Copies of this chain bind each other. A is one copy, B any other.
Amino acid sequence: MAIVQSSAGGPAHTSLPSQTRRTLLKGFAAAGAAVSIGSKIARAQGEIGFWAQNLPNEKLIDMYSTILRIRWFDRTLADKQLSDRSFRNLIHLYCGQEAVATGVCAALNNKGPFEEIDVIFGTHRPTGHAIAKGVDMKKLAAEYNFKATGLNRGYAGEMHLADKSVGYIGADGIVGPAAVLASGAAFAFRARGSKQVAVVFGGDGTYATAAFHSSMNNAALLKLPFIYVVENNLYHQFAHYSYSCPMKDIATAASMYRVPGWVVDGQDVTQVYNKMKDAVDRARAGEGPTLIEAKTYRYYAHWGAPGAEVGKLGSFGYDPQAITSWRPERELRDWLQRDPVDIARNTLISWGVIDQAKASAIEAAVRQEVKEAFDWEAQQPLCKPEDALKNVFVEGTVAARQFG
């Protein structure tokens, strides 16, 4: 548990509503303890930026709304999986990690021609990455239920989402390779002299894969505009990350490649944004790659919502898949004390960006937006079977072979 305490060491009271800027700053300090190594490396490079404090109110409100969209979208998925057989989603829920995707994408260009926007490569746990990058929730809901009008016309389902129009190159169901692909995108950006940045989200599980060494080493050698965001939620499937990685902070691995490796409190969107902005600035300035390890946690099981209850956040119950699960219930309860939604809301309130009433109004609007997305999805048509022979290649269709 040492890892958990030190990475989520922020005091529980940071999530109390009646919080003032002063106590919040204490909160940062405490969380700071968690990110010691990361921020030491950062300071050594003179990076003391606390950029979030200078963001315009709309942007801060937008970040808060994004966190809420991800939260309510996935809570809806969880509830539907438990209660609504008409919705056929097979899903790895992102709840608990919202501040990571939101803080990361808030520091990127997400609008504009494909030749100019920044790109992200995601994982099998895609809702947060997709929504934070700007994917339309209606199409997302439809894709999760395999509809012909879904984001990817029903071909993708959950694990293979992609939306070029917002620079979401996509989810990938295989753990690891996306990092190599992302470093290749960065290679292309450098070759064409563009200022674009390529980001890969990878779980703590990706550290052990060949792709980790390959992408970090080559991005370092070629000084590529590449950012590796490790979402360390402590588990790969049912195994604690200490089974996969010999050190406490995966970020320290970056130093081997002479690349900055920063640990950040993944539950606090402003801290994630601060570090990400430094990394993006480095990349655009041609200073090469950065690795950011966000300490975070998933509230549900590795896959789906076993052990969860409709209307309640998180899986506390038994997960039939987790025969060798090492996830103690109290670990989850600890993390719930530092919920990314609460932290973001309290930050904005304490900064005087919004008040409690406005916060509630925003949340109500987001929940309505999510509801409309799923209502829309419910009206959408199923896929035409024969379409399965399309999209193998850009042109034409392949032959049916199942009939002999």
A305 within 8 A of B: no
Complex: chain B residue closest to A257, CB-CB: B246
A188 within 8 A of B: no
- How many positions in chain A have a CB within 8 Å of any CB in the partner chain? 19
Q: Which residues of B contact A253 (CB under 8 A)?
A: 256
Q: Which residues of B contact A258 (CB under 8 A)?
A: 246-247
Q: Which residues of B contact A220 (CB under 8 A)?
A: 246
Q: Which residues of B contact A245 (CB under 8 A)?
A: 217, 221
Chain B proximity of A287: nearest CB distance (Å): 14
Complex: chain B residue closest to A221, CB-CB: B246
Chain B proximity of A248: nearest CB distance (Å): 10
Chain B proximity of A218: nearest CB distance (Å): 8
A39 within 8 A of B: no
Q: Which of A206-255 contact B (CB under 8 A)?
A: 208, 210, 212-214, 217, 220-221, 243-247, 252-253, 255
| Residue with the greatest number of chain B CB neighbours at <10 A, chosen from A217, A245, A253 | A217
Contact of A256 among B210, B214, B247 (CB under 8 A): B247
Complex: chain B residue closest to A242, CB-CB: B221
Q: Is the interface of A mostly helix, strand, loop or mixed?
A: helix
Q: How far is the CA of A220 from the CA of B258 in the complex (A)?
A: 21
Complex: chain B residue closest to A256, CB-CB: B256
Chain B proximity of A148: nearest CB distance (Å): 40
CB–CB A210/B214 < 8 A = yes
Complex: chain B residue closest to A212, CB-CB: B213
Q: Which residues of B contact A246 (CB under 8 A)?
A: 217, 220-221, 257-258
Q: Known interface pairs A210-B210, A213-B212. Does A243 touch B256 (Cβ–Cβ under 8 Å)?
A: no
Q: Which of A247-300 contact B (CB under 8 A)?
A: 247, 252-253, 255-258
| Residue with the greatest number of chain B CB neighbours at <10 A, chosen from A243, A256, A258 | A256
Can you give 23 A-B contacts (C-beta < 8 A)?
Answer: A208-B214, A208-B217, A210-B210, A210-B213, A210-B214, A212-B213, A213-B213, A217-B245, A217-B246, A220-B246, A221-B243, A221-B244, A221-B245, A221-B246, A246-B257, A246-B258, A247-B256, A247-B257, A247-B258, A252-B256, A253-B256, A255-B256, A256-B256
